[in-house]
Chains A and B, each alone.
Chain A
Amino acid sequence: MNRTVEPEVPATILPAAGVAGVREEVRARRRALAVARPYLYILPTFLFLFVFTHYPILKTFYLSLFRWNLATPKMELVGAANYVQAWSSPLFWQVVQNNVLFALGTVPISLALALMSALLINQRIRGLAIYRAALFYPTMIPMAAAAMIWLWILTPSYGLVNFYGRSLGLPDIHWLGHSRFALAALALVGIWKRVGYYMVIFLAGLQVIPEHLYEAAILEGASPWQRFWRITFPLLSPTTFFVAIMAVIDSFQAIDQVYLMTQGGPGNHTNLFIFYIYQNAFRFFDMGYASAVSTILFLILLGLTVLAFRMLHRRVHYA
C-alpha cells in the first residue's frame, strides 16, 4: 500500500461519529480511492478511445447492415445486401485489383531500395549523415506536398520526366492521364516518400546484430556476400517481415496522392480503397454501402496487423 499519496478528506464530509469511527471511515475512503486510482488515470484515454475508435468500428459494421443513401434517407435494415452489392460490383473488384497491383508495385521495390540504402549507410563512411538526411527528408514532408512536387515533375511536355524522356527518344507521355501508367506514377510517389522511413527501421534492425558474429565470420574467411546471406539476412528477417507488412498496410491506406493527383482516374484505374470509400460516403452519400466497404478494409488490415504483431513477438527467439 502506498501510504503517502492519499489526498486529505475534507472534515465537513466526515460523519459526526466518535474519533475511532471517523478514522475507520477515512481508511475506508482511502482504500476505495486506491482501488479507483488506476481507473481514474486511464479514464481520459479510454473516454477518447471509446468514442473515436471502439464505437466507430462497431457502429460502422452496424451501419453496413442498412440501406442509407440519398434515395433512402431513412435507414432501412437490409442485412448483407451492401456486401452482396460489393461482391457483384465490377468496380469494387477493380478497386481491389488496383490496390493489390499498387501494393505489388510499391512494397518489393521500396523494401529492396530501403534495405540496400540501410546496408550502405551502415558501412560507417564519411558523409553518412548527409546521405541519411537526403534519403529520409521525404518522410518529413506531407504527402500532399509530395503530390504537388510530382504533379509538376510528371506533367506533360514541361515536366522534368518528359524533358529527359524525350532526350532519350521516348514519346511525350501524359503519365497521370494514361490508363496503364497512372497507377505506376502513384506508386513511384509512394516509393519516393517511404523508402527513407523504411531504411531507418532497417538501420535500427542492423544495429542490434552483434558485432562479434561478423568478426568471427571474418576470421573464418567468409566473404562479404556470405556474411550478408548467413548473418545479416537471417537475423534481419523479422525486421524485414515487419517492414513488409507495414508497407502493405501503407499501400492500402494510400489516399492523399490519389485525391490530389488522379481523383481515381482515368477510368477508375487508380481508384484505391480509401478513395472508393470517400467517394461513396461523401460524394454519393451512400453511407450504408461505404460502411460495408470500410468494414471489409478494416478486416483486411486487421488480419495483416495481427500477422505483424505476431512476427514482432517472434523476433526475440532468433538468437
Chain B
Amino acid sequence: MPSRRLWRLTVHALLFLAALVVVVPFAWITLTAFKERSEVFSLIPQWLPSHPTLKNFSGVLDAMPFWRYYWNTLVVAFGILAVQLVTITLAAYAFARMNFWGRDVLFFLLLVQLMIAPQSTVIQNYLTLSSLGLLDTRLAIMAPYLASAFGTFLLRQTFKGIPRELEEAASLDGCGGLRFLAYIAVPLAVPGYLAFGLVSLTYHWNEFFWPLVITETSKARTLTLGLGIFAQTAEGSADWTMLMAATLMVIAVPLLLFLVFQRRFINSFMQSGLGG
C-alpha cells in the first residue's frame, strides 16, 4: 500500500528531525572539545577540527582536581545507594508484609518525601549539618538522601506480589523473617532493585544544587559542581574548547553506560514516573 509507505516515511522523517535537533548540540560540543583554542573564534561555522588535539583534555586535568571530584562523586552516589538499599528493603518489607498499629499514617508520612521539593528543605538541612560540624563533607552531601520514599514504594509493590503461601512454606522450613527476606524476597525483587539503583545513581551523579550549598572547598565537591565552578574561573570562562572538554569528561561514562544498557535505563526511568 503506497499510503502506508508514505506514512512510514513521514514518521521516519519527523523522528529523524527531532533526533537531529536533540543530538546536534552534543555533536557540536564534542567536536569543539577536540579543536585548537583559537579555532572556535571564527565567524563561519566550522564543524570539523582542522588539527584534532587532545590538549584540552589534559588541560582540564591540570586546571582542576578532576580525579578528586570523580572519586567524591563515586563515593557519594554509591554511598547513598548502599545505605538506601538497606533502609528501603527493611521498610518496604514491613509496609508490604506486616500489620502494625499506625501503618497507614506512617506510610503517608513516608510519602511526604515524594510530595515536597527537596530544595524547600535546603536551609534547615544546611543549618542541621552545620551544627553537626559536617559542612564540606561527602557525608553531608549524602545525608538527606539516605531514606528513599520512592525506593520503598517501588519495592513494597514487588514484595506485595510475592505469594503468601511461599512465605508460609519457607517459614515452616525454618526460613522465616529476616532469612526469608534475604534468601527469597530480595532475590525475587532484583529487577526492582536494578530500576531503583539506576535512577538513584543517575540522580545523585547529576546533582548540582545541594552539593553547591553544602560544600566550601574542593575537598568534598562532586563532578557537576566542579564543572560549574571551573566554568566560572578565568580559565574556564575564557576557553570554550577546554570547558567543552571538561563537560565531555563529566558526562562520558554515564552516557556510554546508557548507550550500552539503553533498554534497562529507559525502563527504570519509566518506572520512576509511575512510582510517584
Which A residues are closer than 8 A to B by beta carbons?
2-5, 35, 37-39, 41-42, 44-49, 51-57, 59-60, 63, 113, 116-117, 120-121, 123, 125, 127, 129-145, 147-153, 155, 157-158, 160, 163-164, 166, 192, 195-197, 200-201, 203-204, 242-243, 246, 249, 252-253, 255-256, 259-260, 274, 277-278, 281-282, 287, 290-291, 294-295, 297-298, 301-302, 305-306, 308-309, 312
Contact B22 A135 (CB under 8 A): yes
Contact A309 B115 (CB under 8 A): yes
CA distance A311 to B125 in the complex (A): 31
Given A38-B98, A45-B152, A152-B29; A125-B90 close (CB under 8 Å) = no
Contact A253 B117 (CB under 8 A): yes
Is B91 at the interface (CB under 8 A from chain A)?
yes
Against A, the Cβ 8 Å flags (1 = close, 0 = not) of B66-98 are 000000000000000000001110110111001
Contact A42 B120 (CB under 8 A): no
Out of A49, A129, A195, A291, which one reaches B262, CB within 8 Å?
A: A129
Residue of B nearest to A139 (CB): B269
Contact A53 B121 (CB under 8 A): yes
B8 → chain A closest CB, angstroms: 6
* Interfacial residues of chain B within 172-190, with CB under 8 A of chain A in the complex: 172, 174-179
Given A45-B152, A52-B121, A136-B266; A255-B110 close (CB under 8 Å) = no
Given A123-B11, A259-B212, A312-B276; A141-B19 close (CB under 8 Å) = no
Contact A60 B121 (CB under 8 A): yes
Contact A145 B247 (CB under 8 A): yes
CA distance A60 to B122 in the complex (A): 9
Contact A298 B117 (CB under 8 A): yes
Against A, the Cβ 8 Å flags (1 = close, 0 = not) of B142-164 are 01101101001000000000000
Residue of A nearest to B121 (CB): A56
Decide if the interface of chain A is mainly helix, strand, loop or mixed: helix
Is B63 at the interface (CB under 8 A from chain A)?
no
**Which residues in B have their C-beta under 8 angstroms from that of A302?**
115-116
**Which residues in B have their C-beta under 8 angstroms from that of A203?**
270
CA distance A14 to B261 in the complex (A): 56
Is B58 at the interface (CB under 8 A from chain A)?
no
Is B12 at the interface (CB under 8 A from chain A)?
yes
Is B171 at the interface (CB under 8 A from chain A)?
yes
* Interfacial residues of chain B within 184-239, with CB under 8 A of chain A in the complex: 202, 205-209, 212-213, 223-225, 227-228, 231
A-B contact count (CB 8 A): 303
A270 → chain B closest CB, angstroms: 16
Contact B178 A260 (CB under 8 A): no
Q: List 11 interface pairs A-B (beta carbons < 8 Å), by A numbering.
A: A37-B98, A37-B177, A41-B91, A44-B86, A56-B125, A134-B22, A141-B254, A204-B274, A256-B228, A297-B117, A301-B117
Interface size on B, residues (CB 8 A): 101
Given A44-B147, A140-B254, A141-B206; A160-B45 close (CB under 8 Å) = yes
Given A4-B174, A153-B25, A158-B43; A133-B98 close (CB under 8 Å) = no
Contact A125 B12 (CB under 8 A): yes
Residue of B nearest to A257 (CB): B208
Not counting A47-B147, A53-B147, A256-B228, a sample of 5 additional A-B residue pairs whose C-beta atoms are within 8 angstroms of each other reads A39-B100, A59-B124, A140-B251, A149-B247, A294-B123
CA distance A113 to B103 in the complex (A): 41
**Which residues in B have their C-beta under 8 angstroms from that of A305?**
114-116
B221 → chain A closest CB, angstroms: 12
A68 → chain B closest CB, angstroms: 10
CA distance A113 to B21 in the complex (A): 12
**Which residues in A have their C-beta under 8 angstroms from that of B61?**
none
Given A141-B206, A255-B119, A260-B228; A131-B15 close (CB under 8 Å) = yes
CA distance A127 to B13 in the complex (A): 12
CA distance A101 to B77 in the complex (A): 34
Contact B250 A60 (CB under 8 A): no
Given A4-B176, A123-B11; A260-B123 close (CB under 8 Å) = no
